[in-house]
Amino acid sequence: MKTVRTPDEQPSDRRGPMGALARPLPRPAEPDPDNGFPGAAEIGIPRRKPGPLKQVVRRFALALLVLAVTVLLVWIERDGYRDSVDGHLSFLDAVYYATVTLSTTGYGDVIPASDSARLMNIVLITPLRVVFLIILVGTTLEVLTERTREQWRLSRWRSTLRDHTVVVGYGTTGYSAISTLVAQGVPRDRIVVVDPDAEAVAAAMQDGLVAVAGDATRADVLRRAEFERARNLIVSANRDDTAALVTLTARQINRRAWIVVAVREDENSPLIRQSGADSVVTTASAAGRLLGVSMLSPNVGEVVEDLLHYGSGMDLIERPVDKRETGKSPADCRDLVVAVIRGHRMLRHDDPEASKLATGDRLVVIRSGPRRPDPMGPRAHPSPVS
């Protein structure tokens, strides 16, 4: 069920009963003598970049503009130039001279003879020649400066990132979790995706998210996502054993982060909690229960599906008790109360202990609003289920 919770107000006891993984844990990755560790991480920060064809057209247009300006300058001062062939400078000669001059070829058959023509070459045509050469070698210069720009953007991103959310796995589950976060007002620049798949990382960047390419079971990969300063972690790995390793590694790095883990097998849930997860969602059983409800009562299944999609109509929201609601019954609240959170306990709305609301209680309520489109928009690429 969709609830909006503040991690700092959740129970601090993260211990759970013993359990066993359905599959054995994988062996740690061995370092490659040539390429280092196979899980080495790379950080991708989203940005707008024109396509290759557009860049080529733009550079070609700039080069033609510089050539046209040079031809115009030579044609204006044509009386000051001397052609070794016939002594007369035609418009074609002006284009020819501008071309060989900008390309630094300089055959010497057309030369500036007057002082004004030579001054124009020094003051105007020479800078244009430099600009023309810069345009021609722009691709090379761009490659040389690309690393500097990326390092600056990465340094700036790291210096401003605090209390963010790290999402491990950008498959269907991870994407849906991020979509819900964005719908609830979490800025995209406060979300960092970690995924070993290059296509998933590219899709995350195209969706406007910072992405780290690497294996999240490795501490150095999570540190590249600045997890030491993160507030939340969502783990939606393809395998339960991977989720357990990610949770163990994350809890060693950040003791205060609120960790939510998606698992596929119910029997793995206890061990995931013992690994350090604050909340565990069993995706397979949850989907199975929804299938059963939809089979027996399609209308109930539709309501549950509506509640699971934030911003699609009815939403489950957790909020503090208002001062005006203190001492009243949950039925007297302005919202439809489903449960009351008192301390570390959850009380149903009809529980006798919840008959009078107290200061410090939190309410899980149902609110309805207009249907809104998916804040993330349509997915750029299909991605594996995770």
Mean pLDDT of 293-311: 79
pLDDT of residue 274: 92
Mean pLDDT of 152-178: 88
Q: Is the pLDDT of residue 37 over 70?
A: no
For 8, 26, 36, 237, 294, the CA distances from 30, given in Å and listed in that order, are 37, 12, 9, 21, 47
pLDDT of residue 298: 85
What is the per-residue pLDDT across 239-266, written as a single tens digit (0 to 9) for each? Answer: 999 999 999 999 999 999 999 999 988 8
Mean pLDDT of 147-164: 81
Q: Is the pLDDT of residue 28 over 70?
A: no
| 62 or 171, higher pLDDT | 171
pLDDT of residue 7: 40
Q: Model pTM? A: 0.59
Q: Is the pLDDT of residue 115 over 60?
A: yes
| 263 or 130, higher pLDDT | 263
Please state, rounded to an integer, the average pLDDT across all residues of the chain.
77
Q: Is the pLDDT of residue 25 over 70?
A: no
Tokens of 196: 């070993």
pLDDT of residue 157: 82
| 118 or 180, higher pLDDT | 180
Q: Is the pLDDT of residue 2 over 70?
A: no
DSSP per residue, 273-299: HHTT-SEEEEHHHHHHHHHHHHHH-HH
pLDDT of residue 195: 94
Residue 58 banded pLDDT, cuts 50, 70, 90: confident
pLDDT of residue 216: 93
